[in-house]
Structure 1
Amino acid sequence: YKINYRHELNASQLKAVTTINGPLLVIAGAGSGKTRIITYRTAYMLESGIAARDILLLTFTRKAAAEMTGRVQELLPDVNSGSIFGGTFHAFSNYILRKHAAMLNLAPNFSIIDTEDSKDTIDLIKTELKLNSKETAFPKKARIQEIISSSRNRNMTIEAVIESDFTGLEEYIGEIKLIAAGYERYKKICNLMDYDDLMDVLRDSLKGNAMFRQKLQHDYKYIMVDEYQDTNVTQREIVYLLADHHKNVMVVGDDAQSIYSFRGANYENILRFPQQYPDCGIVKIEENYRSNQRILDFTNDIIHHARVGYKKKLYSSIRHENMPLVRKFYDQQTEAEYIVTEILNLRERGVELNQVAVLVRAFWHARFLEAELNRRNIPYVAVGGLAFIERRHVKDMISYLRLLQNPYDAVSWHRVLKLIPGIGSVTSRKIVEKINKPGGMDEIAAGNKKHVDDLVGLFSALRSANRTNISVAAKVEIMRDYYSPILKSLESDYQIRLLDIAALIELAGRYDTIDRFLSDFTLDPPSKRFANKNTPLIDEGEDKPMTISTIHSAKGLEWYAVFVPHVLDGLIPSSKAMGNLEELEEERRLFYVACSRAKEQLILTMPSFVSTYNGFLSYPSRFLIEIDKSKFRFEV
């Protein structure tokens, strides 16, 4: 072997890396070098003679996959590791379903719609079923989308989902089922797939088509899954079906960091892996390379009180005097002033701003803090707010481009037609019905005399952008030139929004086909690079900004110093979780994720009281009260 694995890895990492055949569960604690394990294990397989094309690596972000495969290439520059498939579950499914479309009787040019498009489609169905005019208590499109998606992610009926999570909507079960059926029909007609379809169609094809299943089992003989605690029921089944023949499957995860149940992640998957594969090996990685031992003593104690899970105790060779600090203040304003003063003190001591984060359970917990940072001119980025792909003008542009890919995409037609002054839902529906019929254009022109010029403008821009001899970036530029005057008439800050579209053109320049650009953009939107709400491409100037992030968005990241404000019972854990044991346990894991992001300094703060819509909150978090008092300093 070219790599000295014994020298590069600790004993438990080495065991995980060199166990290649058969099922393996790796429980990798926070900061224990999970990426390193997957990277070195891939290298070890290649050095053991396994072909790169036989390896499948499934992750939850494209960035993670790219980082791992990139590191393998650095470790083994002479070995061609390029044919490893490394990517997200959704990207894998998108690739496989298009590649084997003929075998599965699918149209290969389907459009992928994101969550916002799903909501808009559901709104169209509501209107068609005449349910939009119903009384105001009828659930909104976002709520219906959540119910439908939840029922699919968790393999539950719509009734069961409503009864378990959406009490109060039972009287609408009949209508919601009608909408769900209409939504499925609509996607088939328009050749659309949403995120859940990518998973469901792949799983159902693996289950129902033996030839397809055997082909994939033959193609991918070694499977690795990162962040296994974040998989949902469907993803677990996909992994099981892919590995069912050879059973060479390694899953890596940390049950203590399972915090995405609202997206359908199933905590049971990682707990039940040994039951699914009775002869599986289990390796626990407990040495932590991120935090000092005092922070680990504190975070170990948080998770020690969890009801279920794999028992582990993280340890570190990093010795340091900084004990976690818990501080109580009179009110939210003095709490915010203290945090900002401490951040400035850290900067005086040479800690750069981008090494500091404030992690909040919900964005409103940072209101006073944001005001104070602005008052003192401290640059920061807010992560977890409105992502780049969710901004209205970006969605408008993507809709134009989708029509170049799939002219039957009715969701996009509705969106772009309604940008024309005077065209509302009713007119756009009439136009969409005719648009792809023979002679439809003439009918549209005859029936829409007052909009004819605007429609001609739209159709000719689309025709011009659809030419085959121009680049993807040029297509985006043509549609931007058409859209700019519309944007100017809609938004007073249109110049700032045009910067977002310029960023979109820059992004498109990296692609050779519109299909690939749209697939990547929808499946793995560029959110982190575009985190600042005013400037799309952050100009970091002299001072790199500090971070305010929701805890959910901070998972996997680390900072020198971490502040967690508002540690009051009812905020952490959220009062919404109070009556439900499973949700309360997930809140504990969320608190654990927040505290385990800190390398050297962890500071938890709370005001004496916070007034919310359901009264005053003034007790410290129950998770804090459980922790052994010798594990932190308390100051008032």
Structure 2
Amino acid sequence: SIMMKEKLKYDDFGVLIRTNSMTRHIEEAFLAENIPYRVSGGTSFFQRKEIKDIISYLRVIANPDDDVNLLRIINTPRRGIGKSSIEHITSHAKQHQTSIWDAMNQLRYAKDTLFPEKGRIDVESFITLIEYFRGEMLGKRGLAKKVRALVDNIDYWSYLVTEYNKNEKAARWKFLNIEHLIQSIETWENDPDNFDPTLFPYLNRISLITRDDDNEEAGKGKVNLMTIHASKGLEFPVVFIAGAEDGLIPHARSLEEGDGNIEEERRLFYVAITRARDKLFITSCRKRRRLQSLVECSPSPFLEEIPQHLVEYHEGEAAIETADEAADYFAQIKSKFA
């Protein structure tokens, strides 16, 4: 509505967050509303390697002839299809003007070929994996559960442990990101307004943000999502500060590291509020999920330091909980059109 009233473009908006861990929920909200965005000074949740790997699997399951995504996952996690095998497969595909998938199937059954027997076995194992999950996923419900089964089947956790053998914390963080992805799929498929919670609609849903190009629709640009640190030196006509809660702004971990950090946190908040050229919206949650429980949240104490005459408070409307309340609500709407 602000865009329409004030004739603004998407790139006139800046959404600032304290930490990169907050991006996923905001990206999901943008996704639900078809709002294009870019993540600056950090990595989009959907552009993180582990997330792109799993999405590439889903794209190949949906369309095995997708060469780009197939080459990404053909040996991730490692399954013995090494560089020489991939070169042999791609050479065969070019020679016969076919997709990588078709080339793999041809080499799988070819008798007179230089393709080694071990490579043939490894390729056959990969094809069997993809074909199995095509049968499980295409046109069927329960996508989140099946993605979790896929992650277990390819043993992505062991792959992460091997890749980050000197930093198990990083491996756990990346695997947790995959769990967050699966949870977001589950939320999407349980939406009562989602009438087709299957693989193809899901891939269509995320196509806008998972593609690598930077095309900007109709010259409207993209909303700028970034951390407060990354926003230094920038300005936007309209700024939203998300998650202005005690424990995030100021950040609890920063305060634990030293009492003097409160001033640095205050300066950082000042940076955030001064990024707005015309309008500033500061939001906070009443409750936030941490691990498996809901935690009560309180607004940032820094909000009390803003002069009251500059502040306008808004609270969300109370939820309609009874049939009588719903009837009254619709009666009020009906009266406006009488």
TM-score, structure 1 normalization: 0.26
**Which of the two has higher C-alpha Rg?**
1
